[in-house]
Structure 1
């Protein structure tokens, strides 16, 4: 794609990066075939190619964002299926992130939009605030029909039936390896996950310890910054990310780290991009080191030689429909490890049709774009349930909540099944299903 940025514009590293990305696009349109919003809406401007044209025009003319551009960029899930499909290597993620930051800096949204986005940014990254919000949503949910705004109704519907108790495993501490120590790893405990499902971190810690890892929950670590980053709130997202970088580098200096383990793939995609996010500043070297250490939990487990065929009698042969989170399969290009691990542990693994397509969760997307999200959820649940699974497994809390809100099949994290297969407790969702019968 031909671009016409001025020399002064290209002096800005973010604009220079956008220019490189734009020039790598050859207009082929392969991305439209795998774009979920284009499949639902059928509008070229709701495809990656269409959004690239809008972004190019906005950035090249150095103009404030307009309502049309904002509408179509807001509709992007950042699922990154387009990056997997693109034959030219267009790094759409960095381009749309830059566009969102430009929108945030130059566009004044309608009042309700501003309020909702500020509330989400102020609440979800903070587990205590989020727990209180979920409790309030549970109380208000019976009155949802009185609320005209679909986004507010979606927020009320998000609250789970039960809010799990606080897990002390999420507090800063060190968990010793069981037996000989093979590795020392830091665990990102997340923010929303600590309010929505504490079993995931608990299962991760048990499993890693069992496989010889000393697990560190670093003091000063918090939200990865993904939620605010995808809203274009650069100052907020970089503050969260910087705190994590400092916390992990302090832990590395104190006792060494072999890896930073992440069991929420949406967070993993962002942490692995810290090196890019901080490439211009004093944290550049540390950020790059953190990104290099970051691993999805399935990547680390693949290195640790999970025992083969170790599934318990009650679990062996259990039919597991594996949902590939977009942030894992497209954002991190981790595709086979979770499925291979489940098979190695003795589970029967099946995949739905169109497994490359998003479920519609995408961070806060299901709250800010509820109509499109609901259609994507309907399609994803239909393809998963068509496989007649006993359980659905995923590697991202957002996907789990999204799919679980529409399916009667238990939804668990992949690591919960692997923990169970190697001596841990049966996943709560499976126990509750059996008790219901």
Structure 2
């Protein structure tokens, strides 16, 4: 029987509390342009959308834990850290003070586990205000470093792509098998993913990927946590001052670049019985998971069409009012895995994923985001992303997945997965 790795210990001297200081920062420079070249992809953290959000670098503290209770152990560690922390916060917004960036494996059995990273430096921006947080683990308040624009990131050098666990034709065969299982009544929906390997001649600068993704997909959350980099359109859950929100995306069609034609495609997506069925499953799973934590909820009856740069999705925004002391990470745990990344019923879909995909998803399709000392934060689903190879910073695994229901066509699903790989492929393609 295989065993999971032991948790990496937190880089924290015994008995010494975390010390954090947040001050206002006078700069209008793009957040991602402030990230220095550290030569280590895992040292960069990001959660940026339309110029606002958080970026961080370095590691003051970190924890990686594994297994079915990985969420609970990560949350307990964070509560212990902030419970003894010394914080001087001169700004007082969500995301100021000490912040942990996190990403969690899709499967409890995955060696990727759940990682929380507390950067040494965090720069945040919200509603036109910018701040700087510095974090240390000695007894003194850390000094505020000079934060200035950095040298442009390095362009990837001669990137090549190769099939991952399955070729497109093999994966189409897995889709056919999934449709047969669904038609036989074994389950209602399953989300199947595939991977693609990207290899460059030299280490790939994560700042290049982040800046390219932010430029081209400004409606997504551009993230980096412990070597996982991407641009997700799906907000799994946001918690701020007792308000819980979640954006559900399920049902996808590729854009053509012709605005008039895309409007017609959007209308067909909104009427597609296959896509509406897939979307209904996903919305129901999110609402059912949030309801125990909320005193009231708003679940729209019909989705809207969300237009992204390369695809369009059926989307529904679910909202609720929190009635307990649950943190944003615990809410993410209650939502994972949603029907949008797993299927319905969950146990049957999860079993079929393990049988058909022939790969470890790692942290793909798991929660990714950040949390502050109050437990408020934002957690997306790690989609449209790539994971750095731990031994080779010139190699990434890219991922894409599709919801499979009774009416799914294997070749169409391959085309949809190709469309979902476009953001990362384009980011790696160079100028």
| Structure 1 and Structure 2 fold alike (TM over 0.5) | no
TM-score of the two chains, using structure 2 as the length reference: 0.29
More helix by share: 1
